[in-house]
Chain A
């Protein structure tokens, strides 16, 4: 049985904000099925009661003095934007344009 279906790949791609062509999605379904089959080897291990590790090195939240420091210059911050007005990022209309057609 397939571990992941073409429909699931399309769904997950949508969650990832990627649109895949049919050929891409088919290829990805095959690749991911192969990879998921491989990672199933982890099921051999009994991990009941084992704490998950998110970070290998124990970390404490470092504290610092609550002092205002200058951030990045707003003009510099938008300098890389594909579209900007003054110090604002410009994006396509969210309400009207969203999910049209």
Chain B
């Protein structure tokens, strides 16, 4: 089967066939990013000259027969919360205005070492706190299928850039669904690996026990190619797992007749989910059955406590992590403050947006004396129960299938006045972060002309099975080959 248009694999094959050059791909990606910026606002910044020079180097390597990897010479983008030496990284926040990183994130360095050409930084919710890319100093990101709707978040710019055919793959980060939900909303594939699989060095920390870098691309196979490049232990991140990166692409093309797909009864209820999303996901599960997979019902009884647990833990960790933004060492400093304390307060009050402030205050509150046991410790105990749910469920199945999101991409502004309703849109994704397990979202159909995502969750370290099942589904379907009409 030929690779769908604009995929990593298709562009690599075009390079290998001499039908195009890395420079032509970089020029096209930069031109398309600029042309679509007014419509999508997918980018926080482009690196035109540097990207063109790197693409020329990749072409020179290819002429010498010195191709570094399957990613060599291919254009990619990174989320604005990953640093590159000598370049800005703003986390879509005013407080990091003017920041230029003195070092490079490990995941980004590994892509660069593999020869990939970073064309720019993608838009996101400020400090990755949000589900719609609306909380951004750069203005809201938009969905290529319908610019009146959100691209999802917080990695909305990365998902939109892939969907719109600007880059074939991009990095995102996922703390509670921030790769999978935008992938679902935009109709692309997004993998959140096992916690620790990818180094967090150079990823600006939001919630350190939950954050994980992953890939967004059109196909599971393309996600596998990116993940095997960036995965593996890193002495600079003591929470990275020492295991070397498996050759994930070897899982592709396999059959799924031995695979048991668990269907959690708590996720397949009519309550709180768009019925047409549920029907689309049920049909996707039926397709996996036609491919030979077995299905069985499983139970994740603590699912309904996931969002509360997640927001308590994530915000507590965020309140601590974001203490470092104080106007002393980097970023913006408020002018005219009398004394150090006033400088801190004014810098932070001017520099952070409303959602970030809300989370810092909530996180500080739940960690404060008198509330720690009732909120933070309680949430950590429920986290243990949520992990236990998955341990038990995976005794009876290999992967778990769920909707990625209870709804299609919502309209811009629809949830910005009600933080809790925004939080609830992550209901199917947060548990994987709390349990540390990998999850992938792949496009599985459409509702009202908007993409619907199927989420597959696996046991810790078993990304390979997720790729195998997702790839088997994509070889039988063409949802991932559809492109937004006005953008084709």
B235 touches A64 (CB 8 A): yes
B239: chain A residues at CB < 8 Å are 55, 57, 59
* One of B47-55, B153-161, B307-315 contacting the partner: B307-315
Q: Is B195 an interface residue (CB 8 A)?
A: yes
Binding site for A on B (CB under 8 A): 98-100, 102-103, 194-196, 209, 235, 238-239, 241-242, 302, 304-305, 307-309, 311-312, 319, 323, 326-333, 337-346, 348-349, 352, 354, 357-358, 360-362, 364-365, 368, 375, 377-385, 387, 419-420, 423, 433-437, 460
Q: Among B312, B381, B437, point to the contact of A47 (Cβ < 8 A).
A: B381
* 16 more A-B residue pairs beyond the given contacts A16-B348, A39-B379, with a C-beta to C-beta distance below 8 A: A38-B307, A41-B308, A45-B382, A52-B381, A53-B381, A56-B433, A56-B436, A57-B194, A59-B196, A59-B239, A61-B238, A72-B102, A80-B99, A80-B102, A80-B330, A81-B330
Q: Are A53 and B368 in contact (CB under 8 A)?
A: no
B460 touches which of A57, A91, A101 (Cβ 8 Å): A57
Name A42's contact: one of B309, B323, B362 (CB within 8 Å).
B309
Please name the residue on chain A nearest to B355 by beta carbon: A31
Residues from chain A with Cβ under 8 Å of B342 in the complex? 92, 97
Interface pairs (30), CB distance under 8 Å:
A12-B361, A16-B348, A16-B364, A17-B323, A17-B348, A18-B360, A18-B361, A19-B346, A32-B358, A39-B308, A41-B304, A45-B302, A50-B381, A52-B383, A53-B380, A53-B434, A54-B380, A56-B435, A57-B239, A57-B436, A61-B238, A62-B242, A64-B235, A77-B329, A78-B329, A91-B340, A92-B342, A97-B342, A98-B339, A98-B340
State whether A18 touches B348 (Cβ < 8 A): yes
In the complex, A47 Cα to B388 Cα: how many Å?
A: 13
Structural contact, A56 and B331, CB atoms closer than 8 A = no
Main secondary structure of the interface of B (DSSP, over half): helix
Q: How far is the CA of A42 from the CA of B420 in the complex (A)?
A: 16
What number of A residues sit within 8 Å (CB to CB) of B?
57
Which of B195, B312, B346, B362: most chain A Cβ within 10 A? B362
How many A-B pairs fall under 8 Å by CB? 180
Residues on A lying within 8 angstroms of B by beta carbon are 4, 8-9, 12-13, 15-20, 24, 28, 31-32, 34-35, 38-39, 41-43, 45, 47, 50-57, 59, 61-62, 64, 72-73, 76-83, 89, 91-94, 96-101
CB of A79 to closest CB in B, whole Å: 7
Contact among B98, B209, B302, B329 for A55, CB-based, below 8 A:
B209
Determine whether the beta carbon of B345 is less than 8 Å from that of A31.
Answer: no
Inter-subunit contact A97/B340 (CB<8 Å): yes
Inside 8 A of B344's CB, which chain A residues have their CB?
17
Expressed in whole angstroms, the Cα–Cα distance for A50 and B373 within the complex equals 13
Which A residues lie within 8 Å of B308 (CB)? 38-39, 41-42
A20 to B364, CA, bound (A): 15
CB closest residue in chain A, given B374: A43
Asked if A92 and B337 sit within 8 Å, CB to CB, the answer is yes
